[in-house]
Structure 1
Amino acid sequence: MIKKLLPAALLAALSFNAMAASNVTLYGVIDEAVTVTKHKGESAVVKLDNGIYAGSRFGLRGVEDLGNGNSVGFILEQGFNADDGSEAYGGKAFSREALLQVKGNWGEFAFGRAGGLSSDCGTYTILHGGALWTSYYTDGNMASAFINTDRMDNLVIYKSPSFSGATITAMYSNGTGLNTTGEDDKKWSKNSHYYGIGLDYAHNDTVFSAMWEMLDNKDIAAKSTQLFTLGGQQGFGNWTVWAAYQYAHNSQMLPGWNYANQGTKGVSQHAVTAAIGYKIASGEWKLEGNYAHGKSNSTNEKYNIWSAGTAYEYPLSNRTLVYLYGGYGKANKLLNTGSYHSTFNSWTLCSGISHSF
């Protein structure tokens, strides 16, 4: 009898483990492109690049059903450079996202590392208004004019249930990891904290978001950064239009995730973007324009940036897409001097393929 029961028990255990494993999913993106880029005062560079349409990555996600509409899950996602196989984003084991999630009919909480509300990356971003992803070169996309938040550590996130298409997302970081290495003293007054709250709305072809974000910059003893961002898109058959506006106050960053280096008060600026898209030949053509003007709060020196980008994206299948992209950006006054001038004055042409799995 025992000899008969042992195989049955082993089979049952293997079946249970198989069922548990089926709740874990491996996924990712591999994105490669050939690019030609020219920065002001430098020679044109032709190279194999990656992560243009979407950042190359692999990840694991899983979920356990707790019953009564409740569940616990996780996301572990790592970025890499597909052109040489190296790790991306600062040497972390899971640099893009590392989240524990608890969900129910009451909404969801998440804890760990993720992108901020306006980061345009990760599970909980609610940025809208741009036709070209911020993965595209910043001489033509939304990030060429807007000051976007980045991925941050030590986040606590709450996302509400949907109310007629609207959700509220709130975020807090007890130590962002953006300005100092590790922030391992764990003393509240020494860490740089992030606060964000936003409304996200989606119904049929209408998408809209509004958000407020603050970085208190405590670890660098600077004035708090305030970001107010509005954006959305509307579909009209084969046509789609996008638009967004942002006001940034005392920012320690410039567009394109470049450091401002403008004292404790940073920079303040207004930014706008507008874009159109048209579905043609089973793909979509997009055209976007971006503009920002601002000043250094320490020196009162002014600047303005404008850029334009266009892309054609054609899906070969549900998981594979080819794209063509061209962008041009130009900066004036403060951002056309010193180390800034080559950063904000450039053009790019590229052709690539993006495959998801």
Structure 2
Amino acid sequence: MKKSLIAIAVLAATSSAAFAQSNVTIYGILDAGIVAERGGAAGSVSKVTSGAASASRIGFKGTEDLGGGLSAIFKLETGAKIDDGTLDATNTIFNREAYVGLSSKTAGTLTLGRQYTPYYETLRDVGDPFAMGYAGTAKNLFPVASFMTRNSNAVVYKTPNLEGFTGAVSYSLGEQNGDSSAARQVGASLGYNNGPLNVAVAYNMKNNDLAATSTAAAVNTGVGHNGLIAANYDFKVVKVFAAYSQDKGVGSAPINGAASATATTSAFGYAFAQSKDSTDALIGLTAPVSASGTVMASYIRKNDKEVANRDADQWAIGYNYALSKRTSTYVAYAKIKNKNGAGYTVGNNTEAGSGDKAFNLGLRHSF
């Protein structure tokens, strides 16, 4: 009897030790609200929607301590629509992120799978006071749609924090038979965050070529390049934001919500192709107005340098009120002024929008 009790105690202690070395977390965001869109060719629309401020999601992430400061890590995250309960990507479960890798406290992190681009993370975390959400999201005019948001088949390395400096390099394999450069994507970022100052630069290169197949000839479309600099500075009473992007080449300015990466029929009823030579500039701020409330505002200008000169300007303002550490309510409004046949729309974190004006009122809960 004593031997059995000792064996059970040893087994329990061993199991507890093994469990303590591993950690798996289930997390998510539930975001639902009312959205009113105005100015589109199809007319005004008001709806209950999901993910205006932050895309609704559920995810699983975990770590295993391998010893010596090295850990195995993984993440699986899927988007969901709170308004109707469906997935936000057809025939894809973990459409947001899906990766596995190794993390070292001294050597950095290496991950493989579907992941955010360094360009997107820089604009979201450093340059956009709306953090890519609400009606005022920088997604409406900056080139962060489609492959500029996330890459599949990506290998990403991120450095540890070195006296405030951090860096990231991303390489996404095109996986085209017979042509290793076709459809590949390369990104990188370098940032410095110390005290009130946060500044970063990012680069993205996308090869749009397609290799030849048994039924089709090779398609040589060209390469798109994007360079971004973003910064914010916290004056305590107000935090100011700025961002500037230069976009050159085919695919360098994908339109948010476009069915094609190169052209779309706009929400205003006419053909509207993306620019191959443009710049994007943003200035904005966030300001605490109480212990729980924050005002957000920004101005964005899209400068099309092609002959068509399809420029656009966006003004946006919003307010977020924290009911608790996990629950907040928000309101936001944005308006875009399109010029010379541009057809940019006011969307939000999840949707591209249907007109040149939009209003959001919603509730967000994280767990």
Partner of 1:242: 241
Could you tell me how far 1:256 is from its partner in structure 2?
A: 2.5
Partner of 1:307: 314
Contact 1:89 1:96 in 2 (8 A): no
Contact 1:126 1:198 in 2 (8 A): no
Partner of 1:180: none
Contact 2:134 2:360 in 1 (8 A): no
Partner of 1:356: 366
Higher RCO structure, 1 or 2 (CA under 8 Å, sep 6+) = 2
State the one-letter code of the partner of 2:336: G
Partner of 2:48: 48
Could you tell me how far 1:261 is from its partner in structure 2?
A: 2.5
Partner of 1:218: 209
| The one of 142, 147, 156 aligned to 1:146 | 142
Q: Which shifted more, 254-263 or 306-315?
A: 254-263
Quick one: percent identity of the two aligned structures? 24
Partner of 2:197: 206
Q: Whole-Å Cα distance in 2 between the matches of residues 62 and 336 of structure 1?
A: 42
Could you tell me how far 1:215 is from its partner in structure 2?
A: 0.2
Partner of 1:179: none
- What SS does the corresponding residue of 1:118 show, helix, strand or coil? helix
* Residues 180-226 of structure 1: per-residue CA shift (max 9 Å, x gap): xxx6x554447411111111111122111101110011225311000
Contact 1:127 1:209 in 2 (8 A): no
Contact 2:255 2:274 in 1 (8 A): no
Could you tell me how far 1:16 is from its partner in structure 2?
A: 5.0
Contact 1:273 1:291 in 2 (8 A): yes
Partner of 1:294: 304
Could you tell me how far 1:336 is from its partner in structure 2?
A: 4.8
Q: Which shifted more, 86-95 or 268-277?
A: 86-95
Could you tell me how far 1:119 is from its partner in structure 2?
A: 2.1
Q: Whole-Å Cα distance in 2 between the matches of residues 211 and 291 of structure 1?
A: 19
Contact 1:35 1:348 in 2 (8 A): yes
1:346 is the counterpart of 2:356: yes
Q: Whole-Å Cα distance in 2 between the matches of residues 243 and 274 of structure 1?
A: 4
User: In the superposition, relative to structure 1, how do residues 293 and 213 fare at CA in structure 2: closer, same or farther (>3 Å)?
Assistant: same
Could you tell me how far 1:275 is from its partner in structure 2?
A: 0.5
State the one-letter code of the partner of 2:112: F
Q: Whole-Å Cα distance in 2 between the matches of residues 156 and 190 of structure 1?
A: 15
Contact 2:155 2:171 in 1 (8 A): yes
Which stretches in structure 1 are left out of the alignment for 5+ residues?
A: 176-182
Q: Whole-Å Cα distance in 1 between the matches of residues 138 and 196 of structure 2?
A: 21
Partner of 1:316: 323
Residues 25-64 of structure 1: matches in 2 within 5 Å?
A: 25-64=25-64
Contact 2:278 2:303 in 1 (8 A): yes
Residues 165-204 of structure 1: matches in 2 within 5 Å?
A: 165-175=164-174, 186-189=177-180, 191-204=182-195
Partner of 2:262: 260
Could you tell me how far 1:32 is from its partner in structure 2?
A: 0.5
Contact 2:132 2:139 in 1 (8 A): yes
Partner of 2:118: 117
Contact 2:32 2:52 in 1 (8 A): yes
Contact 2:299 2:314 in 1 (8 A): yes
Aligned length: 336
Partner of 2:213: none
Relative to the length of structure 1, the TM-score reads: 0.86
State the one-letter code of the partner of 1:30: L
User: In the superposition, relative to structure 1, how do residues 42 and 109 fare at CA in structure 2: closer, same or farther (>3 Å)?
Assistant: same
State the one-letter code of the partner of 2:165: A
* Residues 271-304 of structure 1: per-residue CA shift (max 9 Å, x gap): 10101222102211111111011145xxx32210
Could you tell me how far 1:11 is from its partner in structure 2?
A: 3.7
* Residues 142-164 of structure 1: per-residue CA shift (max 9 Å, x gap): 12221121211111111112222
- What SS does the corresponding residue of 2:131 show, helix, strand or coil? coil
Q: Whole-Å Cα distance in 2 between the matches of residues 168 and 344 of structure 1?
A: 37
Q: Whole-Å Cα distance in 2 between the matches of residues 336 and 59 of structure 1?
A: 35
Q: Whole-Å Cα distance in 1 between the matches of residues 90 and 195 of structure 2?
A: 39
State the one-letter code of the partner of 1:216: N
Could you tell me how far 1:251 is from its partner in structure 2?
A: 3.8
| The one of 246, 262, 281 aligned to 1:272 | 281
Q: Whole-Å Cα distance in 2 between the matches of residues 265 and 48 of structure 1?
A: 30
User: In the superposition, relative to structure 1, how do residues 351 and 256 fare at CA in structure 2: closer, same or farther (>3 Å)?
Assistant: same
Could you tell me how far 1:167 is from its partner in structure 2?
A: 1.0
**Could you say what the CA RMSD is over the residues aligned between the two structures, in angstroms?**
2.7
User: In the superposition, relative to structure 1, how do residues 23 and 204 fare at CA in structure 2: closer, same or farther (>3 Å)?
Assistant: same
1:161 is the counterpart of 2:168: no
- What SS does the corresponding residue of 1:256 show, helix, strand or coil? coil
User: In the superposition, relative to structure 1, how do residues 200 and 344 fare at CA in structure 2: closer, same or farther (>3 Å)?
Assistant: farther
Could you tell me how far 1:44 is from its partner in structure 2?
A: 1.3
Contact 2:120 2:149 in 1 (8 A): yes
- What SS does the corresponding residue of 2:256 show, helix, strand or coil? helix
Partner of 1:76: 76
